[in-house]
Structure 1
Amino acid sequence: MVGAATAEATTVRYYAVAPGYQLNVRNGPGTSYSVVRVLPEGAKVPVYCQTPGTTVTGPYGTSNIWDNISNGQYVADAYINTGSDGYIADRCS
């Protein structure tokens, strides 16, 4: 990825969106934020940081954690297979 390489990006892992789901990507950590794009079924996303936001129920439980997958782009963690119900990345600042 051009322009995405940073010192902290060296440890970024990619996580799968829940099977069978297309996932809204929003410009903030909550359902009240605008949808900026939709991830297709089978997508994998990086999680750069995580932050609390709107509580969402998805295939991986109910959570208020939102994952930052790009600059100004967030997805509900309840739809991402991180293997954890808690935080797996630093809090967004």
Structure 2
Amino acid sequence: MLTLIGVAPRAIATGVLPGNSRDGRIGHLTLDDSAAVAATVLAEGGSQGEILEVTGPEAVTDTDIAAALTEATGHRVRLTGRPAAPVADYFAAHRADLVG
């Protein structure tokens, strides 16, 4: 979810959410999600040497995210599907805007 922090304001301002995951679902994590997992693992132990697969509470598509941004702000945000290379170029070109 942290990757959306810089993208969301630009998507709201422009009405465009770039993405290339098609119908793929992602269980985005918030900082609080990550902290809760870390606290539990540290408190309970027993996971040495294990790889923990951690996901957010709900797997969503980019279309779901665009709809949620539209609903939350009242500004229409639409998903524009793009091949992976142009999406990477977009993020590289707007890095300063996205990470502050």
- The TM-score with structure 2 as length reference comes to 0.30
Structure holding more helix per residue: 2
Structure of higher CA gyration radius: 2
- The TM-score with structure 1 as length reference comes to 0.31
